[in-house]
A and B are shown apart, each in its own frame.
Chain A
Amino acid sequence: MNNENTFKFDDLQALLRFSHGRLTDTCFLLLHVADVRKAKKWLDTAPISNATESDSLPDRALQIAFTVEGLRVMCVAESVIDGFSDEFIMGMSGEESRSRRLGDIGMNAPEKWDWGGESKKIPHLMLMYYAKENAVKDFRTSIETEDFVKAFHVIHELPTLHIGEIEPFGFKDGISQPVIDWECRQSTNAHEREGYSNLVAVGEVVLGYPNEYGLYTARPLIDEREDSVAACLPHAEDKTGLKDLGRNGSYLVVRQLGQDVPGFWQFLYKMSASNFDKCELLAASMVGRRRDGKPLVLKSVAAIPGISTQNCDNHFTYDFDTEGYQCPIGAHVRRANPRTGDLPPRVTGIINRVMKKLGFDQKQEEDLVASTRFHRILRRGRSYGPKLAPAEAIKADAEVAERGLQFMCLSANILRQFEFVQSAWSMSSKFSGLQNESDPLLGNREVLMNGERTDQFNRPSAKGVTEKIYNLPKFVTVKGGAYFFMPGLSAVKYIASLPIKEDT
C-alpha cells in the first residue's frame, strides 16, 4: 500500500475533508436556475472552497451541490446523467418504494414536505455559505451580485442556527465520524478486516477512488472524443481513455428533520415519574450517549483503527454488550453505527473462525447486523431553531418553536450507505432482532402491515425484565429532503462550460 500522503486535495470541495466547525454562521440556499447562461457564467468563477489545507483557518467557505434536475438544466447530457446512481436520478422523493424504505410515510410523506417533495419544490442546486459569527450576511452580499440574482431564483432558505456543539434535544453531536483513509493505509481485503475499524476507504465517500470492496463505484465516465468539454476532467483511474465526471465528487444527502424538543423532554419526564435525574438517564439510553457525549458502554481495550485511545467518547464497540444492558440495542447511536466487524466478535483461532464463518457456535440473536464498514456516512449537519435546555423543556409552558436538524451527509453510494443505515438500521422495527421498536428519536411510529406496533422502546436490564416504554410519540418529522451531487472542482468547470442547448 502507498504510505506517502500523495492525495491531491485541490480538486475536492472542502466539505469532504472539513466540517467547517469553526464557521458557525451558515446559510443554505436552495436555488432554481432562472437564466442558464448567467448561471454558467457565475458558476465558472464561483469561489468554491477546495480541500487543501491552508496555514491559517479560513474565515469563509462556499460549497455547491446539484440535484439531477439541476444538472439537466445546466445542459448535462442525458447519456452522462445515466451514469449516476439510480437513487440520485430518481431523487429522495421520486419513488414510493424509496419513501417506504426511508420511513417517509404518514406525517413524514414527501407531499407534506416544505421542500423537495412536489416537483416544483425540488431545488436545482444548493449553495452552502459558511462564515464566522454574524459574518454570513456580508459573505452573501459579496457573492449574490446583480448577475447572480438574475441567474438564480431562491426557492427556499434552509434555516440554521448555531446553538453550540449540541443538537436541539441537547445532546453533544458529531462525536463519531468515519475517518477517511486518504493515504490508503488500511487494506480492504476481508481477510485482514475482522473487527470494527473507524477508517474507511476514500472511495466510500469520494467518487473515483477504490471503496471498501477495493472497487470503483459506478459514476459517469465520458469519452473525450465525443465530448470535448470533458477535457478539463480528471482521468478515470479504472478505465483508460475515459474522463471521470464523478472523481473528487460525492453525493450529498440533505434532510430537514423537525425536532419536537418540548414534546421529547416532557414525555420522558412523565415516563420518569417527574424525576429529572431518571429522565436524563432514560434520554441517554434512547440516544445511546449521555448529554455530554459520554458513551454508555465501557471503553474498548482492543485498539480501534482510526480512533485514538485517548478519545474516550469514541473508543468503544458493543462487542461486550450483546444483550444491550449497558446501551440498549435500539438506542439511536447504536442503530446508526453498530460498530460491527466483518466477523462476529471474539473469534479465537482458525477453527473457530471457520466455524463462525459457517454460522456455527453462536446464539440465534447474534450476528444479525451487517458489517458496519460498508455502511458509513460522513455527517455534515447543522441545527436550527432557538436553544431550549432540557430543564426548561420539561415545563408545560416551554417555548414552542421550529427546531431541528438540517441533516447532511456525504457518501459515494446513497443506496448502500445512507439508505441502508436509514432503512435497515434506524427505521427497521426488527433491527438486530428487536421487537416493536424503531429508532427512539427518528421513528415514524407507523404500524406494520398486519398492525404490529413500532412505538415502543425496550431497555434491557441485567437484573430483571426488560423495561418497556410504550406509546412513544413522534419526536422527529421530516420536513424536506433531496439527493445532491457535490462535484469536484473540475467537474464544476465542466458543468459551467457545457454548451447551452438550443431550446433553452
Chain B
Amino acid sequence: MTAQSSFMILSSVKDTKIEELTTLLSSMNSTIPAHADPKNDLLPFGRFPRLHFARFVIIEAHTADEIEAFGIAARPWQPTLAFFGEIDGDIDSFFTELEDLASVGLRKIFALCEKFPKEEENLQQWLKKNNTKSNANYVNWIGRTVKHIHEDDALHQSLAAYLREHKDDIDKNNTLALRQKLLSHVEMEKYAGRLTLTAEEKTPLKWKMFNFIHMIGVPLVLVLLSPLFLIMAPFFFIRLRMLERSDPELFIRPEHSYLEKLTIQEDWSVSNQYNVFGDIKPGVFRLLTLKFILFLVDYFSRHVYKRGFLARIKTIHFARWVLLDDNKRAFFASNYDGSHESYMDDFINKVGWGLNLIFSHAVPYPKTSWLIKQGAYREQQFKYTQRLHQLPTEVWYKAYPDLTNTDLARNSRIRKGVEIRQSSVDEIREWLHLI
C-alpha cells in the first residue's frame, strides 16, 4: 500500500504584485474559472501521475477586523500565496519531479512573492524548506493511489461497455456464466494491452512501523495522562462555559458580490474545492483546545476514518487544517463531492457536532454550548459565517474530474471482484450490480 502525503508551500506576496500574480495564475486555467488546464505550460499538473489534487490560493484576511469585537487590535496580515496538494508516496521525490517538470513555471510564480527560490538555489531544496505541515489531515481512503483510480475506472468502463455491447445476447439471469464472460473479457483486454491492473505496491516497512507505533502510542499516552484530564475537566468546562457565554457574536451576511466570486468557480463538475480562513479566538484556552482537538482529528483520520468515511460524511476526498501566523489564525481546505449547499447541509445535519468541536474556536463562529451543541445547528448564521470566511481559489486541479468518492469506492470493489472470485451467487450478483 502506498500512503498519501500532503504538501503546502507558503510565501507572502507584496501588495503591488497581487494583480500580476493573479493574472499569471489564471493563465494556468482552462476556459473554466479556477479550473486548471492539466497541460498548462507553467505547471502541467497532468504530467504528475501521483498527484490527486492541487491548488493555488492567495490567502487574504478580509475578515481580520472581526477580532476587534473581542477588544483586541486586528493583526496585520500580508497576503500569502499557498500552493498545496495531495500525492501518493513521499514528498521529497515529488518535489524532485516538480523541479524536473515545472521548475521554470514555479520559479516564475514564486518570483512574485517575497520568499522565492534564488536562481542558484535548488528548487527541490527550497520547496522542502518551505513546506508547511498541517495540524491535521484527512484522506478519504488511505492507500488508494491515482494510478489505481485510473486503472479501476478504465476497468469499470470496459466492463460497462461490454455489457452495453452485448446487452441483447447475454442471459441476465445466469449470473455465473455472465461473470465468466466478463472475466474473460478482462483477460482479453489485458492481453491486448487495453487494460492494466497493476498489483498493489508493498507498504514501506518504515511507514508501517511508524504507523503502528503511532496507533498504539497515542492512546497509551492519553490513558496515562487521563488522571490529569480528569482533574482538569471541571476547570475546563467552567472556563469553556464562561467563554461560550461571553464570546461576542457577530451576524454578518456576506455581500452578494463576494458570493459571486465564489460561486463562479463552483459546480462545473461533480466535485468542488473549499478554503476557509480566519482568526482563532484570543487566549491560550481556545488555542490549546483547538490544538488538542486537531491532534485527535488527525489521529482518527489516520487510524479510524481511513476507509471512505469521516463520521457520516463520505463526500470529502482530502481535507487539511493548518494553523498560521504564529497560531493566531487557522486555514482549512477541502475537496468535496456535490454542491456547496449540499456540502454544508450534509455537515450540519450529519456531523454538526464535529464542526462545532473544531471550528467553534474561530472568530466569529455561531455560539456553541458545551462545545458540540448549537453552533452549526444555527443554520443560516453558520452558512453566512463560513461563506464570509471562504476564499476563492486561483487554480484548482483534480486528477479525476467526473469521479466522486462513491465512484472510486465502487470501482475498487469491481476490481476486487475481478481479482478475488466470489463464492456465492449472491456475491456475484452484488458484484454485477456495481458495473
Contact = CB atoms under 8 A, between A and B. Distances in A.
A451 B433 CA distance: 23
Contacts of A428: 270, 338
B402 A448 contact: yes
A374 B349 contact: yes
A245 B256 CA distance: 21
A429 B267 CA distance: 13
Contacts of B267: 97, 100-101, 423
Interface string B260-282: 10011011111000000000000
A465 B433 contact: yes
Interface in B216-271: 253, 256, 259-260, 263-264, 266-270
Contacts of A464: 172-175, 178, 429, 432
A415 B380 CA distance: 11
Given A370-B345, A419-B341, A357 B311 contact: yes
B345 A359 contact: no
A450 B269 contact: yes
A86 B341 contact: no
Nearest to A448: B402
Contact of B163 (A100, A415, A423, A465): A465
A359 B163 contact: no
B346 interface: yes
Contact of B270 (A97, A356, A367, A448): A448
B140 to A, nearest CB: 11
Interface stretch (B21-29, B85-93, B356-364, B406-414): B406-414
A448 B401 contact: yes
A305 interface: no
A450 B311 contact: no
B266 A97 contact: yes
Contacts of B173: 463-464
Interface stretch (A18-26, A88-96, A124-132, A145-153): A88-96
B378 A213 contact: yes
A357 B350 CA distance: 7
A466 B172 CA distance: 8
Contacts of A475: none
Interface stretch (B50-58, B106-114, B202-210, B302-310): B302-310
Chain A interface SS verdict (over half): loop
A267 to B, nearest CB: 16
B18 interface: no
B293 interface: no
Given A359-B313, A430-B270, A364 B345 contact: no
A420 B308 CA distance: 24
B380 A217 contact: yes
Contact of A359 (B167, B312, B338, B377): B312
B404 interface: yes
A398 B413 CA distance: 46
B379 interface: yes
A367 B315 CA distance: 11
A342 interface: yes
B349 A460 contact: no
A96 B349 CA distance: 28
B314 interface: yes
A227 interface: no
A359 B305 contact: yes
Contacts of A465: 163, 170, 172, 175, 178, 429, 432-433, 435
Interface string A441-480: 0000000111110000000110111111010000000000
Contacts of B313: 359
B401 A433 contact: no
A467 B32 CA distance: 36
A323 interface: yes
A213 B379 contact: yes
Nearest to B178: A465
B424 interface: no
B311 A433 contact: no
Contacts of B253: 218
A372 to B, nearest CB: 10
Contacts of A90: 256
A205 B27 CA distance: 45
A433 B178 CA distance: 24
A144 B41 CA distance: 65
B135 interface: no
Given A89-B256, A464-B429, A430 B312 contact: no
A435 B159 CA distance: 14
A468 B314 contact: no
Interface string B163-198: 110010010111100100000000000000000000
Nearest to A325: B433
A466 B433 contact: yes
Interface residues of B, number: 53
B30 to A, nearest CB: 10
Contact of A97 (B264, B345, B433): B264
Contacts of B164: 468, 470
A301 interface: no
Contact of B312 (A357, A365, A433): A357
Contacts of B423: none
A86 B253 CA distance: 10
Contacts of A100: 267-268
B406 A416 contact: no
B263 A416 contact: no
A424 interface: yes
A359 B402 contact: no
A424 B259 contact: no
A215 B379 contact: yes
A430 B401 contact: no
Given A359-B311, A448-B269, A97 B380 contact: no
Contacts of A420: 341-342, 345
Contacts of B170: 465
Contacts of B345: 370, 374-375, 416, 420
Contacts of A424: 338-339, 341-342
A57 interface: no
A101 to B, nearest CB: 5
Contacts of A430: 270, 337-338, 404, 406-407
A460 B430 CA distance: 11
A272 to B, nearest CB: 14
A108 interface: no
Given A430-B337, A435-B407, A367 B268 contact: no
A415 B383 CA distance: 12
A424 B404 CA distance: 13
A428 B342 CA distance: 11
Contacts of B402: 448-452
A428 to B, nearest CB: 7
A368 B314 contact: yes
Contacts of A98: 263
Contact of B433 (A323, A358, A359, A470): A323
A371 interface: yes
Nearest to B156: A435
Nearest to A344: B312
Nearest to A413: B380
Contacts of B429: 464-465
Interface string A72-104: 000000000000001001100001111011000
Closest 6 CB pairs of A and B: A449-B269, A97-B263, A452-B402, A464-B172, A433-B406, A424-B342
Given A423-B342, A466-B435, 9 more contacts: A215-B378, A217-B380, A357-B311, A359-B305, A359-B312, A364-B409, A415-B341, A424-B341, A465-B170
28 contacts: A86-B256, A96-B264, A97-B263, A97-B264, A213-B378, A218-B380, A358-B312, A359-B310, A359-B313, A365-B406, A370-B342, A370-B346, A371-B349, A416-B341, A420-B342, A423-B341, A424-B338, A433-B406, A435-B410, A449-B270, A464-B174, A464-B175, A464-B432, A465-B175, A465-B178, A465-B429, A465-B432, A465-B433
Interface of B: 32, 163-164, 167, 170, 172-175, 178, 253, 256, 259-260, 263-264, 266-270, 305, 308-314, 337-339, 341-342, 345-346, 349, 377-380, 401-402, 404, 406-407, 409-410, 413, 429, 432-433, 435
